Structure 1
Amino acid sequence: MSWRDFWNGEHAIYVSPRHKALHYRGIATDLISHIPSRDAVVLDHGCGEALDAGRVAAACGRLYLCEAAPSVREKLRAMLGAKANVAVVSPEEVEALPEATLDLVVANSLIQYLSRDELAALLVTWREKLRPGGKLVVADIIPPDVSPLTDASQLLAFAWRGGFLTAALAGLVRTAFSDYRKLRARYGLSTYRLEEITGLIAAAGFESVTPAKNFGHNPHRFTLVGRKAG
């Protein structure tokens, strides 16, 4: 099983419907804060189930939702089919977009599931698809010193604030015996020091690469923002 297989199948990464709803509501709010204008063309690459994508679509001119898992794309199309300014696309369809099409690219909680070579290739794709001066936001980057225990403690803190603590405790027990834990043990997650990932993004043709408030509930991870040079 690969990470794509995991996300394409049934999983319990969200401990309850409330957890999932609050997660996607927060991510949508964070994403909207980076949209440069009401007519901007936005790509959310690795969007997941994007339960609050309708609110994002209302804040921009056109929204591309890119998801590698076919089953998730089907759910997104069923949920958002009536919205004329939303397109649900595969990674291959992103590669086929005309150059200089996008004003904003967001990749939240994505690059930990990619190899460094895959990330390097995606950075090239994103640069090509962005207009000059367009913005790239890479969010929820995991530093090497953040452990699964830290992630668990932040989930519990989020659950306490969000009113699903009991479900979170049960969910952590399920995760200990889940395919997610097995995949994480087998493949690991890609981690980056701040200066390392900043250098990779800059080398791909982005300038003014700086930290920003992280997406989601975990302050031990970080977000970087850069603009396409030229």
Structure 2
Amino acid sequence: MELPSKEVVALMREKGVEYLYHANTVRTACTFFRTGHLLARGSAHERELDQTSQSSDRLDRKLGIWYDLFFDSCDIHERSSSYNKYGPVLLCFDLEILEQDWAPTIWVTKDNPIRWTATTPSNERWFNSMDELSSQYDRFAFRQHAVLRNVGGSVRILPYLKKIVIDNPKRQRPNAPSIDMFSEAVGALNNALRAGKLHGSGISFHSRPCTCGCVQGYRDMPNELLIKGFGS
């Protein structure tokens, strides 16, 4: 259900939320940077823009969230000590991205839509009031997503994007062993930032210095998943 954006953001700040996070693949992130916009799955598809397929695409269409923009309130990689299944590129946004003048309300999920069905009632999908959200909100809960709906599936990256964090899989490209996947991904992201005229706008770029379970996870990752996440 619709909740007032400013009240939700105030609650998040009170609960210690520093950024709103959106993880994706290198390929899809490059499209965001080139267009200068964070795009919903449906919006990018409709405009025939390049993006990586996701296993939830068919379900998202069925559930009516194909044009919605989802944000997490914690860094899932850091919290779970494992790589993020949505992709190795983490975009860290200022909470003000939710306070759009032309979208004064946002929605917050009670559970990850991957576990919804077509018959899941609305009051089990979404928080229904600020009182309910205030009593149950957990910034570390992966299932509670802040969602921009009815915004045309697009929101400007600037001035909200503050930081980009990319994982280093420490793997070579499977079909070209002389090419380091991380270096290639960083180059593609930087080129896309330049194409979208986002370079020099104060966005910081970081490699995640990781020693968690992702190290073994990336080491064991099948080639097709590695290319899906880091390929451009």
| TM-score with structure 1 setting the length | 0.32
| TM-score with structure 2 setting the length | 0.31
The structure where helix makes up a greater share of residues is 1
Which structure is higher in RCO with an 8 Å CA cutoff and minimum separation 6? 2
